[in-house]
Structures are given as structure tokens and as C-alpha cells.
Amino acid sequence: MKTVVLKFGGTSVGSIDRIKKVCKIIAFYKKKKNRIVVVSSAMSGVTNELVNKSKLISNNFDRAEYDAIVSTGEQVSCALIAGRLKHIGFKSRSWTSWQLPILTDGPHSSARISFVGIKELSKYIKSGGIPIITGFQGISNDFRITTIGRSGSDATAIMLAKFIKADECIIYTDVDGVYTTDPKQYNKAKKIKKIFYDEMLEMASLGSKVMQPTSVQDAKLNKIDIKVQSSFVSKSGTLITGTKKTFSNQIITGISSTKNDAKITIIGVKDRPGVAASIFRPLSKNLINVDMVVQNISQNGKETDLTFTIKSEDLKKTEKLIKKNKSISYKKLSFDKDLSKVSIIGVGMITTPGITYRMFQALASKKINILVISTSEIKISVLISSKSVKKAIAVLHKEFKLD
């Protein structure tokens, strides 16, 4: 008898009608004699509503109380799913994170799951019951509710699959799999049948919204294959895996893009050991995420120009932090916004020469100017004007035969 973890996202449980449909999916797996564990997100929009309420109370709301508030959304959806399953004749009950327990380490609102207690859960599953478990949350060592970051229900499902030794982990969402690029940006995007963990991790961190990067990382570390499919249509989804069997010889697997990036260049910085750390230390303390970084040393070796990217909403704060930073000296600051990062991702590029040239030549053919370049073994990212993103995706999709 197989053990299957089914995770349902916020849009999948976004209304009473959708919850009824989710229960039909659960019933389908149960009727096939599987042991079922269900993880649910809050109904779509509920977590945002709770976050907004906390902001109305205080612009510096206590992080522990923030977790206590936003964790209530999953409790509602889980109770509704369990109630519906009972109504249609199944044994079911809801479980909150502290009842298992799901133990976490790390700060409030960005904790990581370290342990899942399965003793009582296993008994319940073996008795034929269908547990409906709150995603996105756990408890700390001092018995306070913690949350795992937005979209953290994926991480809950993956870690549950690890601890109960599940045979399958299926993530149900509002899309029917992972696509070569965002179908809203390019209508010739096609669904990827199988993708490596590392490729999915890059796509998630570079703008793909299908999976949370930390969840993909958890799956990779624990060698748990994930299926991503739609709760709205009966179509095969995408398998995220580490196995190299039955993979195509496609060089590039997908193309990701981001929105609302900004570029900062600090010109004429006096070069000395530790200068980069001096620049980025105050940004880190203020939770400003720095992405692409390029440094150019002058010919005399005494000065450097440092360029890096951040999100546009952090631009004013970053400018203030740099200007009041007394530990660095420079000649000029320049800023650009309304930029986007476009990335090609694929493990095939490790062993295939000429990929960089093909990417740059394709962009040049459409007169798309590249502002910053960043690379790793399996991805190449370029910073361009946001106005050119759709054009860039289209030409790269065609160049690497993804159409």
C-alpha cells in the first residue's frame, strides 16, 4: 500500500466549491487503496487579509504575534476539508502543527522545519484515517507558533513526506505543471515533463512562482521527488527529481524573468580589503536582498566601480544607507530602475560550448541592450530594460528550441 502526501495551495482551496473538488481528488486517491496525508494552505486571500490587519494595528508588529495571526488561515481550510470528507463518508480530522508536533528552528516568519513527530499520525493513517495538516507553520523550542515563509506549505508537505517515508509527494496548484517560461509572458511556452532539482531551484529563485526555492532545496537534500499538477484540470504535471533516467537531451530547460529590479553603481570606490563587505553590511542588516554583483578594478589598482541589483522598492532606502555609510569613499552614485532579469537555465549548458554567445547574439538580433551579466554552471542571467522582457523571452525561447 502506497503512502501519498497531497498538498493543496491557496487557490485550490479558495472557495467552498473548490474545497469540495479537492475532496473529490482526495477521495480518488483513497479509493485506490493509498494511505493519504493532506497538507493545506489557507484559502486564497486570507493570509494577505490577516497581514493587512496586523499592519493596521502597528507598523512594527511583533514577529511572534504576526506568526500567531497568519497561521490561523490554514486551521480554517483544514477543518473545512476534514468536515467535507466526513460528510462524504471518510474518516478524517484536522491537525495543527503543535499537535504532531512540527518543530522548527530559526526566526519567526522564516523558520525551517527540523523535525516532524509522526507517532500518533502514523497510528491514525494505519487506522484508515485521512489527516489534514496545516501547512506553512510549526512550533519553536519555547512552544511559540512559527511560520515558514510565504508558500511554506510546500516545505511542510516535503518534510512530512520525508518523515513518514511517503512514496509520492504531489503539489496541487492552479497551474498544470512547470513551464519552459511564464505562459502569461509567452504563449508558446510548453510544459516540462521532468526537471532536475537544481534547474527547478534556479528557476524558482530567478522568478518562477510555481515552487518556493527553500522547498525545492528541502526536496533535493532529502531526495524526495515532487509532482506538480493542477487541482482544476485532469492533466499530467511536472516531475521534479534528481534521477537522470529518461531525461531528454535538451540543453536549456527553461527561461525565468523577474520584475521591478533596480541597478546601483558606485563609481570610484577606493579599493582596499573589506570594502565590498563595508558596502553590503548595512544593506544586509536592513534586510535588503542584493542580487547580481559586478566589480571592475581600475588600471592603477587603486579604485573600483561596483554595480549590484536590488528590488526597486528598496532603492530609496539603499541610497540613504550608502550615502550615510562613513566607512566607504567614492566619487559618484548612479541608479537605474524599471529593469528586469532574464535567465536561461539548463544542466545541459555544463557540457555544451557556445551557449553564452548564442544567448547574447539572439538578444542583439532584437537590439536588446544588456546592462549586467551573471553566470553559474547551469544558468546565465542578464539585466535588461523591463520593456524588452517579452521580446527577450520570445527570441531566447526560439533560439534554444523550446517553442
Query: Which CATH number do you get for residue 102?
Result: 3.40.1160.10
Q: How far apart are CA 240 and CA 305, in angstroms?
A: 40
How many domains are there within the chain? 1
Query: One digit per residue, pLDDT tens: the chain, 403 residues?
Result: 899 999 999 999 999 999 999 999 999 999 999 999 999 999 999 999 999 999 999 999 999 999 999 999 999 999 999 999 999 999 999 999 999 999 999 999 999 999 999 999 999 999 999 999 999 999 999 999 999 987 789 999 999 999 999 999 999 998 889 999 988 888 999 999 999 999 998 888 776 677 878 888 889 998 899 999 999 988 889 999 987 655 567 789 999 999 889 999 999 988 888 888 999 999 999 989 999 999 887 766 788 899 999 999 999 999 999 999 988 889 999 999 999 999 999 988 888 899 999 999 999 999 999 999 999 889 999 999 999 999 999 999 999 999 8
Cα–Cα distances (Å) from 186 to 229, 248, 384, 391, 394, in that order, read 20, 22, 17, 9, 6
> Is residue 145 assigned to a domain?
yes
* Distance separating alpha carbons of residues 58 and 85, to the nearest angstrom: 39
- Domain extent at residue 29: 3-174
Do the bridges between strand 303-311 and strand 293-297 make them parallel or antiparallel, or are there none, so unpaired?
Answer: antiparallel
Distance CA 338, CA 308 (A): 14
The reply to whether 27 falls in a domain is yes
Question: In whole angstroms, what is the distance from residue 201 CA to residue 362 CA?
Answer: 25
Predicted confidence at residue 281, as pLDDT, reads 94
C-alpha cell at 160: 512530512
169 in a structural domain: yes
Q: Taking a C-beta distance cutoff of 8 angstroms, is the pair 186, 392 a contact?
A: no
322 falls within a domain: no
DSSP symbols for 379-399:
EEEEEEEGGGHHHHHHHHHHH
In the 8-state DSSP scheme, what is residue 231? S
Distance (Å, whole) CA 282 – CA 287: 9
Which residues have C-beta within 8 Å of that of residue 224, sequence separation ≥ 6?
158, 161, 162, 166, 169, 218
Q: What is the pLDDT of residue 350?
A: 85
Backbone angles phi, psi at 3, to 5 degrees: -105, 125
Residue 306, in any domain of the structure: no
Question: Does residue 282 lie in a domain region?
Answer: no
Cell 533560439 identifies what position?
399
Contact 225, 310 (CB under 8 A): no
Q: Which residues pair with 328 in a beta bridge?
A: none
Domain assignment of residue 131, yes or no:
yes
Instruction: Kindly state whether residue 204 falls inside one of the protein's structural domains.
Output: no
Burial of 67 (0-12, 13-18, 19+ CB in 10 A): buried
Retrieve residue 161's grid coordinates. 513526506
